[in-house]
Amino acid sequence: MSLKMLVVDDSPTVRAVIKRTLNVAGVQCDEICEAGNGVEALQLLRQSAIDVVITDLNMPEMSGAELIQEMQADARLKKIPTIVVSTEGSKTRLNELHQKGISACLRKPFTPEQFNEVIHRVLEQTHESRI
């Protein structure tokens, strides 16, 4: 299964680290798109068929939480598996995000092994839901 992914983070460094980790994890991607905030991400999501979104929370213009809220309000976008990769450690906020429909959370700093485990778990769920 080859996928089109969207990595959303205001830090180009983090986007590059995530892209490299995806490659190391052996995730087969047709394309990895990048966005620096929620506004840019929404534009990309509405223009093209993205399979998985990996997003930070703390970003300028539109945060990751606002992006997730916008995606949930859109019948097509709400079906896209979304992984939050952020520094968030509050149980309250993480529970809110899960209630909004995110697929998984990964806290920074993460190891390649942790990233690998989360991305493959979400991809398996995605694959099963498409069968």
Residues in contact with another protein by the rule CB under 8 A = 10-14, 16-17, 20, 58-60, 86-93, 107-109, 111
Residue 76, token pair as written in the block: 């097509």
Element spanning 52, H or E: strand 52-55
- Residues 3 and 20 sit within 8 Å (Cβ to Cβ): no
CB of 84 to another protein, least distance (A): 12
Closest to another protein by CB, 17 or 53: 17
Whichever of 78 and 94 has its CB closer to another protein, that residue is 94
Question: Residue 7 forms beta bridges with which residues?
Answer: 34, 54
Q: Which is nearer to another protein, 116 or 126 (CB)?
A: 116
Q: One-letter amino acid identity for 64?
A: G
Instruction: Record the tokens describing residue 9, joined without a space.
Output: 């983070």
* Coarse DSSP helix, strand, coil percentages of the chain, rounded to the nearest 5 percent: 50, 20, 30
CA 58 to chain centre: 13
Task: Report the residue number, 95 or 125, with the smaller CB distance to another protein.
Answer: 95
Q: How far is the CB of 126 from another protein (least distance, A)?
A: 27
- Shortest Cβ 107–another protein spacing (Å): 8
State in angstroms the smallest separation of the CB of 23 from another protein. Answer: 11
